[in-house]
Structure 1
Amino acid sequence: MIPASVPAEVVYTNRHGVTQTVPVHAWDDDGYAVALWRGALQRAQSIEGFKEVRERREIIGVVPGGGWMIEWQVDGEEAAFADPVVAWVVYSDGQAVPIDTDSAGEAFPVTSSSDWRVYHPDAAPHSPAPSDEGKHA
């Protein structure tokens, strides 16, 4: 076995339909990812609900929100609401993800694919690109 020198993870769907991950511990002699599963090392492909093996992004830093806002569009409603971005999580691949809070004060990185946007109140308002001028919605 070859120890996993680059952080990688096995992605699988559990029996409740939730996508989860476990770290890759090594690569076997045939090049397959090996993970600790139910107390034993197993090939990733043999894990129930296996989806893929991918490089694992690691959090390398957290920086303040800096006045940025996150605006949420609620399904079926025209009105949106905005919250301050509490902080930004910075990952090893360079991506920065906003951290928002819920009504109970719990902080979480925004990974939802829901309708949301991030903006800074001091930024210039959105204006159409020159190629969009004259187009009607």
Structure 2
Amino acid sequence: MIPATRPYKVRFKHEMTDNQGKTTTYYTERPVIAWDDNGIPLVAGDRHLVPANTYKNYAGLCEDDENYIAAIPGDGWKIAWKQADGSPDYIEPVLAWVVTSEGNARPISTDLNGEVDFVRPSSDIRMIAPGEEPPSNP
């Protein structure tokens, strides 16, 4: 058995038919815990690890999102969002930094509606370090 050191997930296909006979397909996912000696992904079963391809609805394997191992406070960092209409930048605090198993850190922020999400790299944003003055718009 080989430990899963990179995040992968197994997909399982499900089909559900409603009262009118319409079939809907959806997928569920499970993390790969390890690999067998032949490279088959193993997932957690009820009592032990199970080869994923033994399930009749096994639909394949895909890379999972980054493996987050820690979160640290935003500690005064801010994000300046450039506004398309030329109005002053929208500035919001970094709530936290999440750290991946590979040592990368990604900022998390919230919008005016309270939705929390990762800050995606973009030419329309600028990170503002603690103590740094926010940018002024012309």
> Same-fold call, TM > 0.5?
yes
The reply to whether residue 96 of structure 1 matches residue 105 of structure 2 is yes
Please tell me whether the aligned partners of residues 4 and 24 of structure 1 are also in contact (alpha carbons under 8 angstroms).
no
Partner of 1:116: 125
Taking the aligned partners of 1:55 and 1:107, their CA distance within structure 2 comes to 17
Judged with a 3 Å threshold, the aligned counterparts in structure 2 of structure 1 residues 125 and 108 are, in CA distance, closer, same or farther, namely closer
Partner of 1:8: 7
**TM-score normalised by length of structure 2:** 0.55
- Matches for 1:1-137 after TM superposition, within 5 Å: 2=1, 4-6=3-5, 8-10=7-9, 22-35=30-43, 41-43=51-53, 48=59, 52-53=62-63, 56-59=66-69, 61-74=70-83, 76-79=84-87, 80-110=89-119, 112-114=120-122, 115-120=124-129, 122-123=131-132
Counterpart AA for 2:82? Q
Q: Deviations over 1:4-46 (max 9, x none)?
A: 352522387x9xxxxx96411221332133446xxx7424xx9
Q: What percentage of aligned pairs have identical amino acids?
A: 33
Taking the aligned partners of 2:106 and 2:7, their CA distance within structure 1 comes to 20
Residues matched between the structures, number: 116
Please tell me whether the aligned partners of residues 43 and 51 of structure 2 are also in contact (alpha carbons under 8 angstroms).
yes
Taking the aligned partners of 1:77 and 1:98, their CA distance within structure 2 comes to 25
**TM-score normalised by length of structure 1:** 0.56
Which residues of structure 1 form unaligned runs of 5+? 15-19, 127-137
Which residues of structure 2 form unaligned runs of 5+? 14-27, 45-49
Query: 1:125: Cα distance to partner?
Result: 9.1
